[in-house]
Amino acid sequence: MALLVSIVVAILVGGMATPRRHVATRTLVLRASPDTVWQLIRTVHKYPDWRDDTQSVSVSADSEGPLQWTEVGRQKSVSYRATLDEAPHRFSSQITDDDLGYTGEWQYVITPTDSGTRVTITETGEVGNPMFRFFGTHFVGYTREIDACLRDLAQHLGEHAKPQPGTP
């Protein structure tokens, strides 16, 4: 019992020593055109067509204000609001739920290259729960979801590009 308590205390202390806020950036170079990539990223209701972690999307019917939607995944649903919508180069989405234990924003930057498009996703997030911070930092990694999204994007476009570290 003492060993179990020691492990839990060590995880809590490690989590409390880990910063609440983080920034993670990954990038991917594709042969597809910037317009093609923009359409896939910006057309949120079609995420289930290419994102493996998204089963359905419901878009808010409110035509006033920024785009808002809810993504339903295998284990949970998360609601978002577009915070930046600059076709065809920048799109940002922010989590609007306040009961998840984490919050954050993804910024997509789409840059033309000589041979196609560079897509960069930067996550700016905050994790309140020290246990989640410990596991997120030491075992899961803050780039896991970004990498999955970029891999799904490449696969949907018939490419086998691999996400790389990026700069915000």
Listed residue (20, 23, 8) closest to 101, CA to CA: 20
Q: Which fold has domain 2-165?
A: Alpha-D-Glucose-1,6-Bisphosphate; Chain A, domain 4 (3.30.530)
Q: Average of pLDDT values for 52-68?
A: 90
DSSP letters for 126-141: EE--HHHHHHIIIII-
* Confidence (pTM): 0.88
pLDDT reported for residue 128: 84
pLDDT band at 72 (very low <50, low <70, confident <90, very high): very high
Contacts by 82-88, CB closer than 8 A, 24 or more apart: 85/42, 87/38, 87/42, 88/34, 88/35, 88/38
Question: CA-to-CA distance for 35 and 3, rounded, in angstroms?
Answer: 56
Q: Average of pLDDT values for 130-141?
A: 76
Is the pLDDT reported for residue 15 higher than 70? no
